[in-house]
Structure 1
Amino acid sequence: MAGRKTPRGPEASLFEAAAKQSDQQSRPLADRLRPRDLEEVVGQSHLLGSGKPLERAIATDKIPSMLLWGPPGTGKTTIARVIATRTQAHFVPYSAVLGTVGELRERLQEAKEAKLFHGRRTILFIDEIHRFNKSQQDAFLPFVEEGIVTLIGATTENPSFSVNAALLSRCKVFRLEGLDEASLILLLERAMHDEHRGWGRSAIDYDPLALAAIARLSDGDGRRALNTLEMILQQLQPDESLTVQVVTRSSEHRPLLYDKSGEEHYNVVSALIKSMRGSDPDASIYWAMRMLEAGDDPLFILRRLLIFASEDIGNADPRALQVAVAADQSFRRMGMPEGIYPIAHAVLYLACAPKSNAVGTAFSQAKDAIDEFGSLAVPHKLRNAVTVLMKSVGYGQGYRNPHEEAGHVASGERYLPDELEGRRFYEPSNQGLEIAIGEKLARLRNPKPQG
């Protein structure tokens, strides 16, 4: 039996067109609506606005090696694809997730030959470049240094931590911001009206407030906004409109932008610490709950609270450390969700407590003195004379026992090595209990003459 022949002529064209349309509709909305030119890109006006650095580079086709750094769904890959349509250079896309280092070396060798024999520039786009470890990044560093390729790397991770210092120094870093609500709404409206790539042909009625609700749910992520819209539209009943109620019904819980090992984790931790240090209980409890709601490890938060109690409060309120320790112990016995109570209890107490960094300053200055003078000899009077020989060489000689003197204080006695005489490491603040501690130390350090 003869094999079935592939249709040719008009029949083939119709077949191919139908297949292409089917493939187009099967692709996710976010992919179908991906901007084809710079004018379609929403947001990032600080980079792509008229006369801005990245816009000028694209317009003049003078593309530097660069890193596009920003949260998911902010346009990193889109900008790279726009550059691909604008540049006269050969554009080579590569995924750090799907590709191998061997394949990358092949692309680099091809780029080297293209420049050597044809004088053709190559732009190498590496998506999720942070997935490469430092040794893998070394594979293309020489090619960037020699100008064989222009590198465009896309990453959600802070390049300071995820990219080789040598490679980072040869790249311009462009920071992309999460899309604001107005930009997301514009993107969603485009999806509702575009008849070829969006849902325009469906003629679904929608409430503009519903699009605003989706935008708020998306945390600045354009891809998430479009995917959420498509999911909701696919679930609509015939003749049902897109309303705020429908959006609420379809999106019961908003996924938070958070990565427990990534930059956003440390951004939120920093916000929590700085809010407590700034004595703002409202901001402090907000950031703590942001971490817990995003699934962060409660024990990590409790460890930060223990550190904070000594580092930022110290002797201004010694109870702060007790509260933090009690919260840690209580959580370990309670577990979740009840364990949120002691965590919140401690966060609010620490935020409201008087602040002092005198503890950290004291041990830092003491360490500096050790670094400066080394291991100074312990004064003989402070040494413990536990043998006859030790006593014979002066150990313990001249020691004054405070418990045998008035007020249990050896007034005027000195305990530091002679080389550090007069040094002051601990200077109590004028906050909380340290006010009283400071007054007492002033009396001890400057005793009144007897008689």
Structure 2
Amino acid sequence: MEPDLFTAAAEARQEKDPSSSPLAVRMRPRTLDEVVGQRHLLKPGSPLRRLVGEGPGGPAGASSVILWGPPGIGKTTLAYVVSAATDKRFVELSAITAGVKEVRAVIDGARRAAGGFGKETVLFLDEIHRFSKAQQDSLLPAVENRWVTLIAATTENPYFSVISPLLSRSLLLTLEPLTDDDLRGLLARALREERGLGGALTLPEDAEAHLLRVAGGDARRALTALEAAAGAALDKGEAEITLGTVEETVDRAAVAYDRDGDQHYDVASALIKSIRGSDVDAALHYLARMIEAGEDPRFIARRLMISASEDIGLADPAALPIAVAAAQAVAMIGFPEAALTLSHATIALALAPKSNTATTAIGAALADVRAGLAGPVPAHLRDGHYQGAAKLGHAQGYVYPHDVPGAIAAQQYAPDALHGKRYYEPTRYGAEARYADVVERVRERLGHPGPSGG
């Protein structure tokens, strides 16, 4: 692959008329100092600084870099910055559309560029986790011989998705999600700087807060939304980008929700209480408010897992597996698709039969333990797998349940002070009705005295 003449022509047009490019392109960092977030990677003397030749020791020794982090936090931008800072030719491939043939073409082009123009090449490979082992193997000669500086990006754990030989030859950099403060600083720069909006408009706090919610931690999305809102404000002849203008341009209503304040806890509480009350429509409303406000989907999934045990329990034993599966799926796919998974789980939990017996049972047991109601473990239940245990009477007289009919041995399990104490009182709702019948038969076989309470 020869140097990209079309890209060069586009860059020349952009230099002649910068305003013709999207705001996100105009605000793309030109140096590491302009990169948003990732402070842990940008400290003086860090491997990333050394990669571009800054600081003592010169460039870092690795000829391959793997950038690991969630979508929209600047992996591609970092690759551009490294390329520009080292004055190297930049070639970008996506593992979704490229294969071994395309990789080899880039490598051949890199070798020709180095020999004919004295120009080294940065190969940015997006979503490397989508490459098979054989496809990743095709990169090894270029990395080992330093024909290219490989910068690979992945949203998946590279220890599972990248082959060991490539990983061992790479500098692994873990990127962190962008914070609201990171994006707030980026918006301020875009409003102020000449390559951005040049100070032509102001952005009040409520409009800025809505832009941050819409962005969902994605810098490009934040700048795209700002550009659209700025264009609408200028068309109206206004000098301020109002909340109403932002709502109109991004086609989303502002949600009264503060991820760090009362609304965060109030809406989360309302979601769980609506599920507990079996109001599926109210539960979906609060779920939608959390999603629209940019709530972390993992937080929502955690709340659903707790609800599955706290309010449903054995009335529907499938509830917890559904909630756990939803949490796993959310961690893998993220928004916007995670909204479907969270909806699936919310509906299932809201419409499930309800039981809080798992909550009350462990609560009562913990209360007794904390009150000192315990006592020694019965001798026949103690560990007998050591020399001298028999002399102490440990494990003597223990009846192995699998050796008796029904596999229920009528022997004492609880300490003396708690013998016959009942913590679990099943309901007759849903699948728990079966457990209610079983537990009574078992307690009769065990000889537990008293109907409840102990």
TM-score category of the 2 structures, normalised to the smaller one: 0.5 to 0.7
Give yes or no for contact 2:69–2:155 (8 Å, CA) kept in 1.
yes
Question: What displacement does 1:221 show?
Answer: 0.7
Distance 1:208 1:50, change over 3 A: farther
Matches within 5 A, 1:128-139: 128-139=127-138
> What is the alpha-carbon distance in structure 2 between the residues aligned to residue 205 and residue 111 of structure 1?
46
Determine the structure 1 residue equivalent to 2:225: 228
Alignment match of 2:29 (pick from 28, 35, 48): 35
The residue type equivalent to 2:218 in the other structure is: D
Q: Distance in 2 between matches of 1:438 and 1:114?
A: 81
Equivalents in 1 of 2:190, 2:317: separation in Å?
A: 54
**What does residue 151 of structure 2 align with?**
152
Contact residue 42 and residue 49 of structure 2 kept, 8 A: yes
Query: Corresponding residue for 1:289?
Result: 287
Q: Separation in 2 of the partners of 1:38 and 1:351?
A: 56
Q: Does the CA contact (< 8 Å) of 1:90 and 1:121 recur in 2?
A: yes
Q: Which amino acid is the alignment partner of residue 235 of structure 1?
A: A
Q: What letter corresponds to residue 136 of structure 1 in structure 2? A: Q
**Structure 1 unaligned regions, length at least 5:** 1-15, 256-274, 295-300, 328-335, 357-411, 447-451
State whether residues 63 and 150 of structure 1, in contact with CA within 8 Å, keep that contact through their aligned partners in structure 2.
no
1:343 maps to which of 327, 349, 360: 349
- 1:86-105 residue CA offsets vs partner (Å, 9 max, x unmatched): 22666544333454431311
| CA drift at 1:62 | 1.7
CA separation in 2, counterparts of 1:350 and 1:178?
37
TM-score, with structure 2 as normaliser:
0.55
The corresponding residue for 1:245 is: 244
* Residue identity opposite 1:344 in structure 2: A
Does residue 101 (structure 1) correspond to residue 100 (structure 2)? The answer is yes
Distance 1:90 1:17 in 2: 13
Give the match's secondary structure for 1:50: coil
Q: Say which of 35, 55, 65 aligns to 2:49.
A: 55
| Distance across 2 between alignment mates of 1:154 and 1:122 | 17
Q: How does 1:220-369 map to 2 (within 5 A)?
A: 220-236=217-233, 237-240=235-238, 241-253=240-252, 289=287, 318-321=314-317, 343-344=349-350, 346=352, 353=359
Match of 1:26 among 14, 20, 24: 20
Partners in 2 of 1:127 and 1:439 — Cα distance? 61
Contact 1:192-1:200 at 8 Å conserved across structures: yes
- Decide whether aligned partners of structure 1 residues 322 and 32 sit closer, same or farther in structure 2, where only a CA change above 3 A counts: closer
Q: Is the 8 A contact 2:123 2:149 kept in 1?
A: yes
* Residue 71 to residue 431, structure 1, CA distance change in 2 (3 Å): farther
Residue matched to 2:373: none
Deviations 1:218-260, CA, capped at 9 Å, x for gaps: 11111000000111122223322212232234344389xxxxx
Q: Equivalent residue for 2:388? A: none
| Whole-Å separation in 2 of the counterparts to 1:184 and 1:95 | 26
Question: Are the equivalent residues in 2 in contact too, given 1:284–1:351 (CA < 8 A)?
Answer: no
- Comparing 144-153 with 76-85, greater Cα deviation is found at 144-153
Question: Is 2:73–2:176's contact at 8 Å kept on the other side of the alignment?
Answer: yes
Aligned equivalent of 1:190: 189
Q: What is the distance in 1 between the residues matched to 2:248 and 2:68?
A: 34
Query: Who wins on radius of gyration, i.e. which is larger?
Result: 1
SS at match of 1:253: coil
Residue in 2 that maps onto 1:164: 163
Task: Decide whether aligned partners of structure 1 residues 322 and 61 sit closer, same or farther in structure 2, where only a CA change above 3 A counts.
Answer: closer
Query: CA 1:345 to 1:132, structure 2 compared with 1: closer, same or farther past 3 Å?
Result: same
Aligned-pair RMSD on alpha carbons?
5.6
Q: CA deviation at 1:25?
A: 2.7
Q: 2-side partners of 1:187 and 1:144: how far apart?
A: 34
CA distance in 2, matches of 1:30, 1:42: 13
Partner of 1:85: 84
One-letter amino acid matched to 1:54: L
Residue 124 of structure 1: how far off its partner (Å): 2.6
Report how far residue 28 of structure 1 moved.
1.6
Structure 2 CA distance for partners of 1:422 and 1:206, relative to 1, 3 Å:
closer
Letter of the structure 1 residue corresponding to residue 237 of structure 2: D
State the alpha-carbon separation in 2 of the partners of residues 192 and 135 from structure 1: 47
> Structure 2 CA distance, aligned partners of 1:35 and 1:174?
18
Taking structure 1 as the reference length, the TM-score comes to: 0.55
Give me the whole-angstrom Cα distance separating, in 1, the residues matched to 2:322 and 2:30: 57
Amino acid at match of 2:424: L
* Structure 2: gaps (5+ residues): 1-9, 255-267, 277-282, 293-299, 324-341, 363-397, 415-420, 427-435, 449-454
Shift of 1:172: 2.9
Code of the aligned partner of 2:60 = K
CA contact (8 A) 1:61 1:86 kept: no
The aligned residue for residue 44 of structure 1 is 38
Aligned-partner Cα distance in 2 for 1:33–1:26: 13
- Opposite residue 247 of structure 1, the aligned amino acid is V
Rounded Cα–Cα distance in structure 2 between residues aligned with 1:326 and 1:91? 45
Q: Is 1:61–1:87's contact at 8 Å kept on the other side of the alignment?
A: no
Aligned position for 2:214: 217
Residues in 2 aligned to 1:117 and 1:29: alpha-carbon distance in whole angstroms: 36
Name the count of aligned residue pairs. Answer: 330
Over 3 Å counting, the alpha-carbon distance change for 1:122 and 1:441 in structure 2 is: farther
Shift of 1:75: 1.4
Change beyond 3 A, Cα 1:63–1:282: farther
Helix, strand or coil for the counterpart of 1:67? Answer: strand
1:319 Cα deviation from its structure 2 partner: 2.4
Change (3 A) 1:349 1:70: farther
Q: How far apart are 1:415 and its partner, in Å?
A: 6.7
Letter in 1 for 2:229: I
